[in-house]
Chain A
């Protein structure tokens, strides 16, 4: 059963703590993306990776970090430097040469 999985679905953390969100895909897609969605807002790009061991900053990368050690995995770390981390985080992937991005179910992060 192919797809994109994000875990956990809900995540709670105390202010000042780093937290890592998981994104795994078994679609053999080359490119992977992380977006942030706030209520009533469009998605904003945080980071993206087009190949293993390479990634680029998106529009709102400050306070976030990523790694791409494996093709199927693209974890996102929300650091304590992110001023307003409470949001809905969406991961997506795209095959090489493909036009469409395919999205995971999302993780809702709440920082208390």
Chain B
């Protein structure tokens, strides 16, 4: 059964600093990997999606990488801002049988950017 781990569980950085969030998964047979942002009491917002054949995706100050063979992904945030404060969730999409695919989520990293 797929397991997704995110380290660290919480991270506090001063504004302007570059930072890296980590995600690891146990089964490398994934279809894609997705990074989400969740603000307190809110739904999830998709940030980046990396297909299994891709190595990285970029959107603005965000860059996500994927090393499928080692079961790892990183989310790099450049020049962090207080508005980046949120919980970041990693999810992998894998085959769950009977023609269906399923997302397996990590527990998230809670990021606080201090002004």
Contact = CB atoms under 8 A, between A and B. Distances in A.
B106 A42 contact: yes
B98 to A, nearest CB: 7
Q: Is the interface of B mostly helix, strand, loop or mixed?
A: strand
Interface string A98-111: 01111111101000
Contacts of B18: none
Contacts, number: 53
**Residue from B4, B43, B103 whose CB has the most chain A CB atoms within 10 Å:** B43
Nearest to B99: A50
Interface in B58-115: 89, 91, 93, 98, 100, 102-108
B51 A108 contact: no
Contacts of B31: 99
A56 interface: yes
B100 A50 contact: yes
Contact of B42 (A56, A102, A106): A106
B48 to A, nearest CB: 10
Interface size class of A (residues with CB under 8 A): 20 to 34
Interface string A36-55: 00001111110010100000
Contacts of B105: 42-44
A42 B34 contact: no
B107 A40 contact: yes
A90 interface: yes
Contact of A42 (B32, B45, B93, B107): B107
A99 B41 contact: no
A90 to B, nearest CB: 6
A58 interface: yes
Nearest to A4: B43
A108 B41 contact: yes
B49 interface: yes
B20 interface: no
Contacts of B91: 42-43
A41 B107 contact: yes
B103 A106 contact: no
A100 B103 CA distance: 10
